[in-house]
Each structure stands twice: as C-alpha cells, then as structure tokens.
Structure 1
Amino acid sequence: MTVLTPSVPWRRAAAAVAACAAVAACAAPAPLVPERPVVLLGEVHDNAAAHALRLAAFEALLARGARPALVMEQFDRERQGALDAARAAGGDADALIAAAGGPGWDWSFYRPFVAAALRAGVPIVAANVSRADARLVMREGLAAQGFDAAVPAPVLDTLAGEIEGSHCGQLDAAMARRMALAQVARDQSMARALEAHAAGGAVLLAGNGHVRTDVGAPRWLSPATRARSEAIGVVEAGDEVSAFDRRVEVPRQNRADPCAAMRAAPAASAAR
C-alpha cells in the first residue's frame, strides 16, 4: 500500500499563510481533520491557503488508510469516460486534466489532488453539470433534464438572491431565478455522485455554495448518507455564511474587485 505523507501540503499551507501575513495580519488556520466517511469540502476557488489546507486533509486521510473516492466539481460529469480512459492508459494527473478538464479552473490547485488520488488508487469522479447542460436546465426546467424539480421555494429564493447579489447589479431577478435552477442541478449532480460512492467513503471538492447545508448538495443526500456526511465550509475571514456542519476560516486572498470586471462585460450566461 502506498503511504502518503501530509508533510508537503502542510508546508504549502504554511507558505500560503506566511505570504498572507506578509501583506496583512492573518492567523494561520488549524489543521483540517474530517470526521465522517463522506466529506464535502468547500472552497473559494482562487484561495491558495484554502486549497493547501484541504489537500493536507485529503492526503492525511489517505495516509491513515482511508480510500475515499475523490468527487470533483472541476470535472463535468460527461467527461467521466475521458477521465477513465486517460487513467486506464496510465496517464498521470496532467494527462487526466488534459483529457477531461475544462477552462475556467486554475488546475495548479487541483492537480495535486488528482495526483494523490492516482497514487492511492481511489476513484476520481466527475460530478459537475456542464454549462451547456445548465443552459438546458435554465431553458427547459429541472425535470426535463432528469433532475428533481421538487425544490422548496425558500431554497430557490435563497439561491436566486445570492446569485443576483453576486453579479453586482448586472443581473435581473428573473435571470437569477433561472440560474438558481442550474445551481440546483449542479447540487443534485454532486449529491448523486456522493451517493454512488458513499459506501466506501467520498470527498467532494466544490465551491462553498455547493456544500451549504441549507441550499446545497447536502440537502439532496439520502438521510442515511447525510447522517454519515460532514459539510465543511472553508471560508475566507470576514465571510459571514455559516450554513455548514463545520466552518473553517482561512486568510482572504488578495484579488481585484470582481465587480469592476463584471461591469465592463455582460453578465455570464450561467453561474458556476
């Protein structure tokens, strides 16, 4: 059995936190130790410290002998065949990403997870709904694309409000509500992927919105799987969202004002 050491990612985490401390006062996050066999690990997609913290947790699980499936938002579900084919051909993490990865992700953050999963011999599961399929959901509804359309009104209201607010005034309420349906489809797809691998354990890598217990993937898990799961929000300091089983804070990532770029271009046709 391959033994994986968490020492390297812990050094990455320390380096990321040190970089943050060089420009701002920020506390190093404590080690992240999952406590359930089904783990939903949230993220802010561009936060380096958060990725390092989660990688250390994943590698520590593997080092302890756990063999959870790695379920990833970063791979669209229809790319599972390409992912499996690249793996069967002996491809490394770069080969799998080249075969099945898409644009819009900083793959330098996710390559170490894929590499660790390959070394450990655990499944790598494509769990996201593509933008093309999301557009179909927005146009035709959830049921037409095989998703559960029985979505409580408060869930849609919350998601639509979050989407509208995150688009810096560039999105109307009707479009935000259609985009909320696409968000639900993605949450349900991730929940289904977790269900398929829950018996042997699973770790989901997804944005914090997808791991929220009130409106995200956890609410679409079966009661049995939900009882064996833990939704961990890995949030930036100052983020007030607390709808997780556990909340872990990391230093804020320095970034440009997202609203400045959004005001300079039309709103995106689908939200991640």
Structure 2
Amino acid sequence: MTRHALLLPLLIALSACSTPATVSDVAPQVLLLGEVHDNAAGHAARVALLQGKLAAGWRPAIAMEQFDTDQQPALDAAMRECADAACVIAKVAAAKSSWTWEYYTPVIALALQYKLPLYGANLSRGEASKVVKDGFAAALPAALIAHYSLDTLPSGVLAAQENAVRDSHCGALPEALVGPMAKAQIARDVVMAQTLRAHATGGVVLIAGNGHVRRDIAVPYWLRRSGFAPHAVGFLEPSADAAAFDEVRRIPLTQRADPCAGFNAPKPAT
C-alpha cells in the first residue's frame, strides 16, 4: 500500500470540504491536549482531564501524535484484537520507538474502555525526512498541498516555525537546515489537522506535544483555516509562555539534565 493510499481518508475529507465551512456549520468539538513529552505529572493531568470528559458522556475519536498515519491498519487490527493497552503498543509501536509508552498507556486504555476510535495522526519520520530533503511534494499528496496552500506559506508562520526549530536544537542547527526542518514540522501539523478533520464527527481529541497544539502556528492554525473552531490546551511547566494556547494547565517542573549539554546538531545532506 502506498503512502498516498494510506492518506486516502484525508483526501476524501478534502473533497467533501473543498469550500471552507463557517464556524457555525461545525458542530463537533475539536479538543487539542498538549504535553511536555518527559513530564509525568503533565501526562497524568491530561489523562484526568480526558477521563472526566468521558465520564460526563463525551465520546470523541482519539488521534495521537505517537502513532503515524501509515500505522493505521496495524492500529485498527490491534484495537480489535487486544484486551489491554500494552497489547496495542506491543503490536503497533516500533521496537526502537523513542516514546515513553507508559505515559500513553492510560490514553489507549480509555479508548479501549469506552470503545473509542483511535487514529494515528502523525507523518512518519521517514516521510518528514523527505520533506526536509525535497519539499512538501516529496511526502504529501498534491490535494493536501493545494488545500492548505503550502506552496505559499504565510511568512509569519514559517518564520515562527523556523525560530522554534532553532530553539529546539539549542541554536546549533546549521542555518541551511532550519527552513527545511520547519517545513517538515508544518507538514506534520497539516497531516494532524487533516486527520482531525477526517474523523471529527461526534468530536475528536488530539494527543500531541505542546508545540503541535499552539493556536498561532500549529495544528489549530490549519484547522481554523478550514472553518473549524479547535480548543487548544497547553500543559505547561511554570516558566513556559501561555500566550499560544486557548487554555493552560500548569504542571510541576520536571528535573532534567540540560538538553543542550553535548548537543550534536545534524549536518546538511551533501
């Protein structure tokens, strides 16, 4: 199965929504719940928020950054066959995955408990690398590029993503890689936004890093351009800026080693 075939549900949603809807036309609740990837307290707080909404009767689809769109067939099979979250993770997650799966086990367990659809929302690392090397057309279907006008990116969005890339690489990234890597981040955001659009009937929640749920440049930005009214919740440590989120839940600071100590920046391809 080709990567474009795996994005077919997203393209169907594009054709059904070729004219952007007004906010008043969009009934489903679209909730984006962020995270600091290594903050256990933040993960627990997010699960508690989601669990409360489910206990109150909400039955959304769940989309997760931690699974790629091309893993959907395996994820569907695992959700049918597995009795617990550990089984789902064992069947779908790559053996050398960098995610700390114990943080996501409760989310998957909720999907199983409430029989909620679970979707991979992310562009794979391999496809994102193609964007870095050769641009959007190397990894994304033409319809997706056209719908989101990725060939004419707003300068403010691109510049802000470039700044985020510089910061996340400790200011040590070769400048030649900054723009291409920012475009890969935008490609991930667009694929996540389109995953939410394709599965929003009845409501949908995205589980992703805070960087992906920023309303100014990330997934909510692309959703609003399509007429959706997403609500972005950042789970932020004490010093983090709250301006880019609709709602903020403050979480304790996780003690961690300096991520920039001994950082080795990737080199541009030759």
Q: Establish whether residue 43 from structure 1 lines up as the match of residue 21 from structure 2.
A: no
Report the equivalent of 1:240. 241
Report the equivalent of 1:115. 109
Q: Which string of whole-angstrom CA distances, capped at 9 and with x for unpartnered residues, describes residues 217-249 of structure 1?
A: 01111557522x201111110112521111221
Report the equivalent of 1:92. 84
Report the equivalent of 2:6. none
Q: Give identity over the alignment, percent.
A: 45
> Which amino acid is the alignment partner of residue 267 of structure 1?
P
For residues 3-22 of structure 1, what are the structure 2 equivalents within 5 Å?
none
Contact 1:160–1:173 (CA<8 Å) still a contact in 2?
no
Question: Which structure exhibits the higher relative contact order, with contacts defined as CA atoms closer than 8 Å and separated by 6 or more residues?
Answer: 2
TM-score using structure 2 length: 0.81
Report the equivalent of 2:9. none
Report the equivalent of 2:259. 258
Cα displacement (A) at 1:266: 4.0
Report the equivalent of 2:266. 267
> Which amino acid is the alignment partner of residue 74 of structure 1?
Q
Tell me how far apart the structure 2 counterparts of residues 257 and 216 of structure 1 sit (CA, whole Å): 26
- Decide whether aligned partners of structure 1 residues 268 and 58 sit closer, same or farther in structure 2, where only a CA change above 3 A counts: farther
Q: Establish whether residue 104 from structure 1 lines up as the match of residue 98 from structure 2.
A: yes
Q: Which string of whole-angstrom CA distances, capped at 9 and with x for unpartnered residues, describes residues 9-58 of structure 1?
A: xxxxxxxxxxxxxxxxxxxxxxxxxxx82100111101111111110011
Q: Which string of whole-angstrom CA distances, capped at 9 and with x for unpartnered residues, describes residues 51-81 of structure 1?
A: 1111001111111111111110000110011
- Decide whether aligned partners of structure 1 residues 261 and 93 sit closer, same or farther in structure 2, where only a CA change above 3 A counts: farther
Q: Establish whether residue 76 from structure 1 lines up as the match of residue 68 from structure 2.
A: yes
Tell me how far apart the structure 1 counterparts of residues 267 and 237 of structure 2 sit (CA, whole Å): 24
> Which amino acid is the alignment partner of residue 211 of structure 2?
G
Cα displacement (A) at 1:130: 1.0
Report the equivalent of 1:137. 131
Q: Establish whether residue 216 from structure 1 lines up as the match of residue 218 from structure 2.
A: yes
Q: Which string of whole-angstrom CA distances, capped at 9 and with x for unpartnered residues, describes residues 127-170 of structure 1?
A: 01111000111122113422422321111111111111221232
Tell me how far apart the structure 2 counterparts of residues 268 and 207 of structure 1 sit (CA, whole Å): 25
How many residue pairs match? The answer is 231
Contact 2:174–2:265 (CA<8 Å) still a contact in 1?
no
> Which amino acid is the alignment partner of residue 43 of structure 1?
E
Q: Establish whether residue 66 from structure 1 lines up as the match of residue 58 from structure 2.
A: yes
Report the equivalent of 2:19. none
Tell me how large the CA RMSD over aligned residues is.
1.8
Tell me how far apart the structure 1 counterparts of residues 247 and 129 of structure 2 sit (CA, whole Å): 32
- Decide whether aligned partners of structure 1 residues 267 and 140 sit closer, same or farther in structure 2, where only a CA change above 3 A counts: closer
Tell me how far apart the structure 1 counterparts of residues 157 and 224 of structure 2 sit (CA, whole Å): 17
Tell me how far apart the structure 2 counterparts of residues 90 and 168 of structure 1 sit (CA, whole Å): 41
Report the equivalent of 2:184. 182
